[in-house]
Amino acid sequence: MSDEFYIKRCLDLATLASGSVSPNPMVGCVIVADGKIIGEGYHQEYGKAHAEPNAVKAVFDAYGKEAENLLKRATAYVNLEPCAHFGKTPPCADLLVKHQLNRVVIGNRDPFSGVDGKGIERLKNAGIEVVSGILDDECHYFNRRFFTRIKKQRPYIILKWAETANGYFATKDGHQKWISGALAKRLAHQWRSEEDAVLVGKQTAIMDNPQLTSREWPGKNPVRLVIDKNLQVPLSNHIFNNEAKTIIFNEIKTDVVDNIHYIQMEDMHFYLAQKIAFQLYLMDIQSVIIEGGAKILSQFLSTNLWDEARIFTSSSSWSDGVPSPNINGNLQETVQVGDDKLSIYLNDIR
């Protein structure tokens, strides 16, 4: 099998931890000896063992005393450079050196300053053959949330909305009226389980009274973020229940009441999108879905603070309503989801 084949297998393994390792990257590791996979592992949960020690452990669990000799003639495949620093776990590069692996094949170099080339250097200094840059673009896109946070000091920002066939986003009178169907709703809940946070503005929180949870998909709930300058959302609304941590960005107070965190910000009418993005970076929130309303979405679009847009278009039309935000990006994919069409855009300027 080719190096590309095993790196793809690393990505398959890493995907199993989607939504569970942030702000760390998703990483898988495959160990091959004599043309056979002898161990696999992936980083399963933030703060716990990384992919490489899990894969090495799998080798010892399967082969016992024979494991040491197998590892000395083995190749380890990993989609991101093995770490070279002490964090919540010991350096993975040191573990591979300890067991004297013959070869290490890497997808991406790690952009984090504590690693960035240091893991590769440590392996090479120990006499281990290192090959890097295998499926580099594919691995980079796979961990685009992590790369965005490290390189741009902000979270990966996903815009999401539904619109009618003739381009309306919401009713003019503010009353809730569903646009997309049941399958689109379930998919949106899956997306929430995969990202760190979901954000809405005050009007959406009041008019739609959303729960902003992943209740129709197995997995974690995201952190709920609400922009409510003057704290006008009623405390009886769903965002104040105990289903998930909720952060209220406002100009009134900073306080913590059970799972509700109030964060005071100054002059929210100036550079709001930039302020929110940087605040989320400081809070180690690596990705966020912005679900409305139209004003909030437009602010992130106008300041070019977005990476991906996911837009459901229904087959029905309205006689009038609030026009949908204008999107200017690279159409990546269009798929049918029940009666709705899903269009996924990537930002051209990334």
pLDDT band at 89 (very low <50, low <70, confident <90, very high): confident
Do 174 and 272 lie in a common domain? yes
Over residues 183-194, the mean pLDDT reads 96
Q: Which residues, including other chains, have CB under 8 Å from residue 248's CB and lie 6 or more apart?
A: 226, 228, 231, 233, 260, 261, 262, 263
Q: b or e along 328-345 (b: 16 or more beta carbons within 10 Å of the residue's beta carbon)?
A: ebeeeeeeebbebbbbbb
pLDDT band at 350 (very low <50, low <70, confident <90, very high): very low
Query: What range defines the domain where residue 320 resides?
Result: 155-346
Residue 138, SS3?
helix
pLDDT, tens only, 57-68: 999 999 999 999
pLDDT, tens only, 291-322: 988 999 999 999 999 999 999 999 999 999 99
Cα–Cα distance measured from residue 278 to residue 90, given in angstroms and rounded to the nearest whole number: 29
Domain count, the chain: 2
Question: Exposed/middle/buried for 242, CB within 10 Å: 0-12, 13-18, 19+?
Answer: exposed
Do 70 and 163 lie in a common domain? no
Do 137 and 179 lie in a common domain? no
Domain boundary among 112, 131, 148: 148
Among the residue ranges 132-136, 254-258, 285-289, 292-296, the one predicted with the least confidence is: 292-296
Do 188 and 321 lie in a common domain? yes
Do 118 and 159 lie in a common domain? no
Is 50 assigned a ligand-binding role in the annotation?
yes
CA trace torsion 166, 170, 172, 177 (10° rounding): 110
Give the CATH number of the domain where residue 177 resides: 3.40.430.10
pLDDT of residue 173: 82
Domain boundary among 93, 124, 148: 148
Do 86 and 208 lie in a common domain? no
Q: Which amino acid is at 273?
A: A
Is 13 assigned a ligand-binding role in the annotation?
no
pLDDT band at 177 (very low <50, low <70, confident <90, very high): confident
pLDDT, tens only, 120-147: 999 999 999 999 999 999 999 999 999 9
User: 218: how many CB neighbours lie within 10 A of its CB?
Assistant: 9
Q: Is the pLDDT of residue 344 over 80?
A: yes
Q: Is the pLDDT of residue 81 over 60?
A: yes
Is 215 assigned a ligand-binding role in the annotation?
yes
- Helical residues (DSSP H) of 16-143, grouped into ranges: 51-63, 67-72, 92-98, 118-125, 136-142
Is 109 assigned a ligand-binding role in the annotation?
no
Q: What is the mean pLDDT of the chain?
A: 94
Give the CATH number of the domain where residue 130 resides: 3.40.140.10
Domain boundary among 93, 125, 148: 148
pLDDT of residue 349: 55
Do 120 and 186 lie in a common domain? no
Do 202 and 127 lie in a common domain? no
pLDDT of residue 1: 76
Do 139 and 162 lie in a common domain? no
* Residues designated catalytic: 52
